[in-house]
Amino acid sequence: MTIEMNSQLGSIDVSTEVVATIAGGAAVDCYGIVGMASQKQIKDGLSEILGRDNFSRGVVIREADEGIHIDMYIIVSYGTKISEVAYNVQSKVKYQLQQMLGLTVDSVNVYVQGVRVAQS
């Protein structure tokens, strides 16, 4: 599936995998994020932190008539304020996609799949 963007010079097709990778990379850079989680965790019952090469596996891109919606499955660090972390993820993902692709995202839904305690 691709997202089509039109400009005065022609059209550009961007794969949803590319959008998901950019969104996942932006999310992992936020303070308080331990990593991305698999969206299948609800079915599997397993808590799996995905590595840096799997940014897109914790991200679902939905394209509807009214716009683009992104669902992000994250794991946060213990002791951080979850609402602030989620807000920062939403803001950074929207900003990065606007800056890198010129893509306007209508909503970024953040699903916290777990909390990890830092190992010392």
Question: What residues make up the domain containing 40?
Answer: 2-116
pLDDT of residue 59: 92
State the pLDDT at residue 120: 52
* Residue 40 confidence (pLDDT): 64
Q: What is the chain's pLDDT, residue by residue, as a tens digit (120 residues)?
A: 788 888 889 998 999 999 999 999 999 999 999 888 876 655 444 445 545 456 777 899 998 887 899 999 999 999 999 999 999 999 999 999 999 998 899 999 999 998 988 665
Terminal CA-to-CA distance of the chain, rounded, Å? 43
d(CA 55, CA 76): 15
The 3-state DSSP class for residue 96 equals helix
- What's the structural domain count of the chain? 1
Specify the pLDDT at position 110.
95
| Region label for 79, one of left (φ > 0), alpha (ψ between -120 and 50) or beta (otherwise) | left
In this structure, what CATH number is given to the domain that contains residue 83?
3.30.70.1350
Q: What is the dihedral of CA 84, 57, 101, 92, to 10 degrees?
A: 10
pLDDT score recorded for residue 45: 47
Kindly state the tokens that stand for 10: 């022609």
